[in-house]
Amino acid sequence: MKAIVLAAGEGVRLQPVTATRPKHLIKLGGKPILEHCLDALKTAGIDEALVVVHYMEEKIRKYFGDGKDFGLKIEYVKQEAVKGTGNAIGIVEPHVKGEFLVVYGDLLFTADAVKSVVSLHEKEKPAASMAVVPIEKPEDYGIVELDRGNRVKRIVEKPSRGEASSNLANAGI
């Protein structure tokens, strides 16, 4: 299975740090956030990644190259204008065949989280699967409302305080 890693955003809220590097290359624990993501994917058994880039893409490409040094095969697709997750998925469509996994390249997650989502997806065989996580402040996240069958009913991006229909946030996997 190929992973699509979304790494196009600028990180405006992280200025001035992102004035000199993309948010995906900000180091935590001695290595870039994106490297932590790719490590988790590799540990989960995924060996191919298609990284969607835009802001300071050359720095991401230079750091990761073709992925060989990280034990992965990495390719890149440029999102000409950052227009959200749906647009990013649309531009990678010609580069994927069959099922694929999408992760946000600016989030920290574990290989076990990836394995859990993939396993449940393979078991249940829905058209698509989305990891969600309960949170305390729904107004800060994309909130997912599920129906009784645990299917996504709707997603509300950063609902007004007190107006969220659930406390389940999009976990980025």
Q: What is the pLDDT of residue 86?
A: 87
Q: What is the pLDDT of residue 157?
A: 87
**162 pLDDT exceeds 90?**
no
| CATH for the 2-129 domain, from 3.40.710.10, 3.30.430.20, 3.90.550.10, 3.40.50.1860 | 3.90.550.10
* DSSP per residue, 19-73: GSS-GGG-EETTEEHHHHHHHHHHHTT--EEEEEE-TTHHHHHHHHTTSGGGTSE
DSSP helix/strand/coil, 157: strand
Q: What is the pLDDT of residue 60?
A: 98
CA angle, 107 then 31 then 25, to 5°: 60
Q: What is the pLDDT of residue 125?
A: 92
With beta carbons less than 8 A apart as the criterion, state whether 2 and 46 touch. Answer: yes
Q: What is the pLDDT of residue 105?
A: 96
Where along the chain do the CATH 3.90.550.10 domains lie?
2-129
* pLDDT tens-digit map of 3-59: 999 999 988 889 998 999 999 999 999 999 999 999 999 999 999 999 999 999 999
Q: Which residue has the tokens 């305080």?
A: 161
Alpha-carbon span 166 to 54, nearest angstrom: 32
For residue 32, list its beta bridge partners.
Answer: 27
* pLDDT tens-digit map of 102-161: 999 999 999 999 999 999 999 999 989 999 999 999 998 889 999 998 899 999 888 898
